[in-house]
Structure 1
Amino acid sequence: MNSLNHTDLELRPLLDRRSEKLFKILNYNWVIFPITAALSFLGMDTQFTDPSGVVEAVVKPGVLWTSDCTIIAIVLVPFLIAQIPPYFILWGLCLPIRPFSYANSPKQRSFRSLRVCLVTKATNVQTVINTVDLWKPLHQSFRVRFVVVIDSPHNPFIGILPSWVEQLQVPPSFQAKHATHKARVLEWYRQNTDLTDQDWVLHLDEETEIDEYLLNTCLDFIERGSEDVGMGTIYYNAYNHWTHPITTVAEILRIAENFGRYQLPVRFFHQPLLGFMRGSFLLLNGTVENAIGWDTDCLTEDHWFAFYAAKQGFKFGWLNAIAREQPPNSLVDLLRQRRRWYSGELMIDSWALRVVVAFNMLEFVANLILWVPL
């Protein structure tokens, strides 16, 4: 894992300002993106179609259907069907995002604490150190606590992490009824932390980078919002993001999904689409944590949590800030990651979700066919 040098840390305030500038632009997304989308489709139509609207590159004059049409249909149809409801990303980009809606609202609730909680197996020690280094400008924030939960009998961070970071070790003897791996760690933390409706937890993976803008967005959500669960945008460009082009392209598509599958249902219905939620950059009220818990054998504990939190009527909101991570290091890592996701999502008791996951799998395979030759 690459380490951050001193110059990298000095540049982090630039990312903070860049996030703010980006959302100032996105405040006018309802003007910008419809125009750019229309121009893009117009350009594609001009370049690739004849007056009848048939793609010249694959259709022979006087022939209704060719073998090339069949190949394109096999590749593109799963991608189009997977966008149920249709064109989530396009609608998400074109409908008003209103990124400052919480910041511009009056305060309506108080809180006791916000706990920034990072879970690690202590196998990527330098990664955790790098992430915690980015917390230094944030650690004096009022009522904000920073916690590293270590799933290892050995704590390699003693004497390395700052004193203001609380270090907790999960006892090897702790056994949840169902949960294993990360879910077991989260369940132990929940059981051993006195969470109330006045407490909030910001869950992070060990490589998730946050900045002051993100933390302020979370505080605005807590004090000025009315929702119980917040999730936000993750960019996979922290570092190594062009080292492996295939994995980078795959993560770029995931970034686009922030505006579609993940964000749009939350913005308009305060519910995730069939529980689609990421396990990092996840802000939870203590009441939700205690009501749902993490005691599940599902491989995608974050999706399971969101699915049942939505079923119990908890409200979701969107955090208009950016956390940054890195893409998988290789194609093999990417395939293992997706296999775990799809396997876990299929474990959730919902036929509608399983149908969507099946189409997502077809879409992923179709995209791989397009990426690998690159």
Structure 2
Amino acid sequence: MGLSSRSKHLIHCIGLISWLFLFSWLTQGIRFTPSEVDFLDPWTTHGAGITLLIIFLRLLSFLALPQTLFNLVGLLSLNAFPDKEKYQSSPLLAPFICVRVVTRGLYPNLVKKTVKKNINTLLDSNIDNFVVQVVTDNPIDLAKDKRIIETVVPSSYQTKSGALNKARALQYCLEEDVNVLSDDDWIIHLDEETLLTEASVRGIINFICEGKHSFGQGLITYASNPVQFKSMSKFLQNRICTVADSFRVADDMGKLRCQLTYFNKPLFGWKGSYVICNAGAEKKVTFDWGPDGSKAEDCFFGIVALDQGYSFNFIQGEMLEKSPFTFRDLFKQRKRWMQGIYLVCQSPLIPVKSKLILSISLASWLTMPLTTSNLILSQMYPMSISPMVDFLLSFLGGMGLYMYIFGYIKQFPIHRFSWIRSLLSVFEIIIASTLSIVVENLAVISMWGGDWYDFYIVEKDNQVEGSEEV
């Protein structure tokens, strides 16, 4: 008999605390005996200029402290290995649901397969009162079915504020002559490759039937939606990108759960997929926020809804997506996110109080090239600002590495790994976490140039096998 949910969570908590202690001890964030740095006078040894620079760079690292604390609280206080969600009431009592997928129409076969799989998952979950709406710039020619709506956005359509890209398509669905939903209906927003699971469907129905919140979001993992590649190069790149996305999995289980469960607000923003919205509330918030609200329309929408007083909650059950296929796509994706969130934080349309915490988080992201230099400078110019500062810096580094470890455990079946395979996992995590840091540093450096309103679409469909029709 396997371990219980509570036992797994307890082991995880012990592991996290032990890891933080061990990492802090190894990096001298915790010292039980005096160290050389305790007796070193940096002003004399390194000079005033170098000392001031290192102090500045180390204190700059504390911009990441708020989100790191949210991750710590979320991972420790909320069960990291919850039991499978069960229906709290009959799914037949749930209101009408629209599964809405927005696409450029560049990968029609992928969309057709995804739609078919998601319809089958909903039916297998005993959900009958639903429709799948595919909103596309280019016709996909989905099969005629009472459960499928294909909405083609006219090339001539413009929103009042000049919204672009996905925001424009989402706003089109809210127009009076296009909208097919009542205010009491619910919308499940998915990307074109996102797969529902029966667990996520149960979590969504429970969230909707509880009736306490207008918006919700849950966990997305990336290792259970396999892709068959035509080349070994893409296979290896996608594998490393998937391991790198382990951080995002841990971020969902930590920061996202913490902010939505305890504060019922997306203080740090949220993702654009696995978004559950009350149709009436979405229509009031709208996606019509101009070009600045179009690069990261998901984050902009969430912060505006927060500012308008709507409440959010975390939804149990995971959905499945794919990580970028190549390092180039990973870089382009991260760059788009950074530019989009920057546009959210600098927008005059959102009060500072509503985007303050998100802005601090963005600042920690944009200063990565500076704070990452601490890894080298700490070896070249050893010094101690204070025991507390040393510990907090070690804590930040330890939590960052643990996020990759925990996310890997959550999305890969490590209980089936041999000891050799487990050992290889360590190298995978080291390579992927290093790549992730390098890519995000490069994205920060390069984000200031180019077209800020271009919306880069990463490759989504690379299957060797033929496509199924819906």
Q: Is the helix fraction higher in 1 or 2?
A: 2
**Cα gap change, 1:263/1:75 in structure 2, threshold over 3 Å: closer, same or farther?**
farther
Superposition pairs for residues 141-180 of structure 1, below 5 Å? 141-152=127-138, 155-159=139-143, 164-178=147-161, 179-180=163-164
Question: Structure 2 CA distance, aligned partners of 1:48 and 1:366?
Answer: 16
Deviation string 1:329-356 (CA, Å, 9 cap, x unpaired) is 2333222222222222222345523333
Higher relative contact order (CA 8 A, sep 6+): 2
- Is the 8 Å Cα contact of residues 237 and 327 (structure 2) preserved in structure 1? no
Name the SS of the counterpart of 1:294 in structure 2: coil
- The aligned residue for residue 336 of structure 2 is 340
Superposition pairs for residues 98-109 of structure 1, below 5 Å? 103=86
Name the SS of the counterpart of 2:150 in structure 1: strand
- Is the 8 Å Cα contact of residues 29 and 95 (structure 1) preserved in structure 2? no
Superposition pairs for residues 1-374 of structure 1, below 5 Å? 25=5, 31-44=10-23, 49=28, 52-53=31-32, 63=40, 80-84=62-66, 86-97=68-79, 103=86, 111-140=94-123, 141-152=127-138, 155-159=139-143, 164-178=147-161, 179-191=163-175, 192-237=178-223, 238-239=225-226, 243-244=237-238, 247-274=241-268, 276-297=269-290, 298=293, 299-348=295-344, 349=350, 351=352, 352=356, 353-363=358-368, 371-372=434-435
Name the SS of the counterpart of 1:83 in structure 2: helix
Name the SS of the counterpart of 2:304 in structure 1: helix
Question: Structure 1 CA distance, aligned partners of 2:280 and 2:245?
Answer: 32
Please say which structure displays the higher CA radius of gyration: 2
Question: Displacement of 1:139 after TM fit?
Answer: 4.7
- Is the 8 Å Cα contact of residues 96 and 185 (structure 2) preserved in structure 1? yes
- Is the 8 Å Cα contact of residues 246 and 371 (structure 1) preserved in structure 2? no
Question: Structure 2 CA distance, aligned partners of 1:174 and 1:209?
Answer: 29
- Is the 8 Å Cα contact of residues 242 and 248 (structure 1) preserved in structure 2? no
Name the SS of the counterpart of 1:296 in structure 2: coil
TM-score by length of 2: 0.63
Question: Displacement of 1:136 after TM fit?
Answer: 4.2
**Cα gap change, 1:101/1:244 in structure 2, threshold over 3 Å: closer, same or farther?**
closer
| AA in 2 matched with 1:214 | S
Unpaired runs of 5+ residues, structure 2, are: 228-234, 345-349, 376-432, 440-470
Q: Percent identity?
A: 23
- Greater mean deviation of Cα atoms: 138-147 or 46-55: 46-55
Please give the root-mean-square deviation of Cα atoms over the aligned residues, in Å: 3.8
Question: Displacement of 1:200 after TM fit?
Answer: 0.2
TM-score by length of 1: 0.78
- Is the 8 Å Cα contact of residues 229 and 315 (structure 1) preserved in structure 2? yes
Deviation string 1:21-44 (CA, Å, 9 cap, x unpaired) is 99x73x667634332223223443
Deviation string 1:146-187 (CA, Å, 9 cap, x unpaired) is 1211112xx23344x866322221122211122111001101
Question: Displacement of 1:268 after TM fit?
Answer: 0.6
- The aligned residue for residue 420 of structure 2 is none
Question: Structure 1 CA distance, aligned partners of 2:371 and 2:107?
Answer: 33
| AA in 1 matched with 2:65 | Q
Question: Structure 1 CA distance, aligned partners of 2:69 and 2:237?
Answer: 30
| AA in 1 matched with 2:323 | P
- Is the 8 Å Cα contact of residues 63 and 361 (structure 2) preserved in structure 1? no
Deviation string 1:273-294 (CA, Å, 9 cap, x unpaired) is 15x0111000000121111111
- Greater mean deviation of Cα atoms: 359-368 or 345-354: 359-368
Name the SS of the counterpart of 1:183 in structure 2: helix
Question: Structure 1 CA distance, aligned partners of 2:271 and 2:242?
Answer: 18
Question: Structure 2 CA distance, aligned partners of 1:54 and 1:252?
Answer: 36
- Is the 8 Å Cα contact of residues 96 and 130 (structure 2) preserved in structure 1? yes
- The aligned residue for residue 459 of structure 2 is none
